[in-house]
Chain A
Amino acid sequence: MASKSVIHVVEDDEAMRESLVELLEDGGYAVRTYAKAEEFLAQSAAIEPGCIVSDVRMPGMDGLALLRRLRAGGSTMPLMLITGHGDISMAVAAMKAGAVDFLEKPFEADALLAALSAALRHHSSDDKADDAELSRRRLHMLTSREHEVLEQLVAGKSNKEIAAQLGISPRTVEFHRAHVMEKMAAKGLPELVRIWLSADPSAR
């Protein structure tokens, strides 16, 4: 690798931070660490481009606020959120705020590395337009019921809430949900949100 990509790790937990450094360095990245979001922001003007990996729950400013602050300041640097307490609405909020991905702790080394390389590749390439086209095509494959379920899902609703909303059983929602995931080729909810957003960026 000619020049190492830089990964900025924002994580308050020392053990987690240290283990991330070990892994990322082994994965061929240069790593900078920050114990707090404020610490990162203070240096962000003079920061090397790359990708940010930030914990969500931290004392002081949390990861989501950091992401919003960066986007508001015009930064387009990809930011991946990691959290031990992810729920659907948080994942949706993160993706809407412009996170490249949303990983739930605990995750394995390879999962993080794969997500990171995808994020960096995605960010650098110009295939976003293609992505949008592909996503739109996938969206068209959904039945109207599946569409309804998808819309509720990306609004952060739980299966139970969706069932109540649509007047069907949670079982059926689960069934539709599996179909939606399959047709949209999404491995998890964060990805589903990302694909959905890429098809219709105005939804942000």
Chain B
Amino acid sequence: MTSRTNPNQSPNLAASTATTASASSDQFDATNIGLINLQPTSRQKLSALVAVAILLFAMASVAPYAPKMLPRFAAFIPFINAAISVTDLITATLLFAHFSISRSPALLVLAGSYLFTALIVIPHALTFPGAFSPTGLLGAGPQTTAWLYTFWHLGFPAGLLLYVWLKDGDHAFQGSLRSAIGWCTTISVGLVVGLTCLAIIGDPLLPRQFQNVLELTSFGFYATYFDLFVAVVALVFLWTRRRSVLDLWLTVVAFALISELALASFRFSLGFYSSRIFSFVTSTVVLVMLLAETADLYKRLALANTLLRRERDNKLMNMAAVVASISHEVKQPLAAIVMRASTGLRFLGHMPPDVVKARSALNKIVNDGHRASEIFDNIRDLFRASDQGRVNIDVNEIVSKTLQTMQRELAEHRITTRTDFVPEPPCVTGHRGQLQEVLLNLIFNAIEAMEGKDGDRVLSLKTERGEDDGVIIKVMDTGPGIDPKNSDSIFDAFVTTKPRGIGLGLAICRMIVERHGGQLLASSMRAGGAQFDIILPSDAPANTSGAGTTA
């Protein structure tokens, strides 16, 4: 019996309980904090739908008048492109950040697409005829800007398609994040530079999209329709394979892109102005939504972090309390052993040696040694998967049985008991022995608390129906009660003194109850006296069943 004791057991158990509890209560894990995996809520779906509806409505009201020519506003393109560049750059940065968290290649591609857009709008504005110079800067030809527009509106939906293609077969990117982002940036910049060169140098060779500064050729329309086609394909794929909040908003973006291309008409027509404004407004809305989602994620992460930290602190406190309680129990016989052994040595040092006394000291040392060992046995038994395991428990029955075993002590201390049982208590499952231990401890505490009391000594035990079909067992005494300033700390600091050989502290009681998925609360009653509530859930959650197997 003694050889099998394992002093490490209880602390380990305490740790494992806390861990399993945290796993169940914690709804956050690494896979569902990323933007790419977050399911949209119904509120988010609704706002996306509203955005699309507004867009549709605006498009429908503009469409009939799209070809109508409006005054030529030369600064419009530099202005709107600068705005697009800034918002898309921010979006790209945000997506790169999310990529760093989730390591999803799809997000990297998406970030690259936004970066591509943010960059290509720059040569587009610079080469736009009449914006900075009558024929555009950078040595642009008459077709350069149109081609850049085509590349821009081809590149972005192509990026979206690539994103959709990558996102579902999503495997985490393994290599260095820094170099991945570096390469993505390089490719985007390279593409923009290359396409710009192509559009400038190839200007005389490429098919003409504009017959003059304002009017599109039929090829120009075809090019736009081709972009439109790619955008529609992107929209369809995004829509059919949408999963996350991000997918939802990208669908809105694709929709805005289609609106823009569909309205595309001669330069400085109503369609020209409005399509770009719609497009810009939508991309801004999406950016704001992304920022809001990111802020929300951050908030939830911070909260999860706080919860985790608190749980860890609790766990440590719990462990500290359990270790303190065990070490108190074990230190007493150890101290006695050291005392007796050194006293025995004194007896042997006498002239003549007092062998009789020394022998008696040695005998007592043997007993104390066994006692120390038994403490560990008791602790182990307490947490071992008992033979009966978890069973259905009638709380009324367990309370009255426990009271019966305490009859003698209660009578000795002139304590009257009162019981108030709820008829047909909800069934709870648990370890009968462990719950009985908790009750025994609380009753012993009550007896001890009422020891110095002159008036009525009453121990009341009450069972009640708790929330959600749970059960509450109340243990109330008429002792001095709990000092309010101690009511928080009694579970950590206070250690009851061996009611039955082993001093099950309140810390251990609380651990047992928590292991049953419940709570142990202490309070003082208004009329005086302490009240302990054992709150047990109707059906103990699955995580508590692991408790026994660790032992």
Contacts and interface: CB of A to CB of B under 8 A. Distances in A.
Interface of A: 12-13, 15-16, 18-20, 22-23, 26, 38, 57-60, 84-85, 105-110, 112
Contacts of B339: 16, 19-20, 23, 106-109, 112
Contact of B335 (A16, A22, A26): A16
Nearest to B503: A59
Contact of A108 (B324, B334, B336, B342): B342
B363 to A, nearest CB: 12
15 contacts: A15-B333, A15-B364, A15-B371, A16-B335, A19-B336, A19-B340, A19-B364, A22-B343, A26-B357, A58-B497, A60-B448, A84-B332, A85-B327, A105-B335, A112-B339
Interface in B334-357: 334-340, 342-343, 345-347, 357
B338 A84 contact: no
Contacts of A26: 343, 346-347, 357
Given A38-B452, A85-B328, A22 B361 contact: yes
DSSP majority for the B interface? helix
A16 B332 contact: yes
A22 B347 CA distance: 10
Interface residues of B, number: 30
Nearest to A22: B343
A109 B335 contact: no
B340 A22 contact: yes
Contacts of B367: 15
B493 to A, nearest CB: 11
Nearest to B499: A59
Contacts of A59: 448, 496-497
B102 to A, nearest CB: 39
Given A16-B336, A106-B334, 9 more contacts: A19-B336, A22-B343, A26-B357, A59-B496, A60-B448, A84-B332, A84-B335, A108-B339, A109-B346
Contact of A106 (B337, B346, B371, B496): B337
Interface of B: 324, 327-328, 331-340, 342-343, 345-347, 357, 361, 364, 367-368, 371, 448, 451-452, 495-497
Contacts of B343: 19, 22-23, 26, 109
Contacts of B497: 12, 57-59
Nearest to A16: B336
Contacts of A20: 339
Contacts of B335: 13, 16, 84, 105-107
A26 B356 CA distance: 13
A109 B357 CA distance: 15
Contacts of A12: 497
Contact of A105 (B331, B347, B361): B331
Contact of B336 (A13, A38, A58, A85): A13
A43 to B, nearest CB: 16
A106 B327 CA distance: 12
A73 to B, nearest CB: 18
A204 to B, nearest CB: 25
A41 B374 CA distance: 33
B488 to A, nearest CB: 19
Contacts of A105: 331-332, 334-335, 338
A106 B334 CA distance: 7
Nearest to B360: A22
B321 to A, nearest CB: 12
Contacts of B328: 57, 84-85
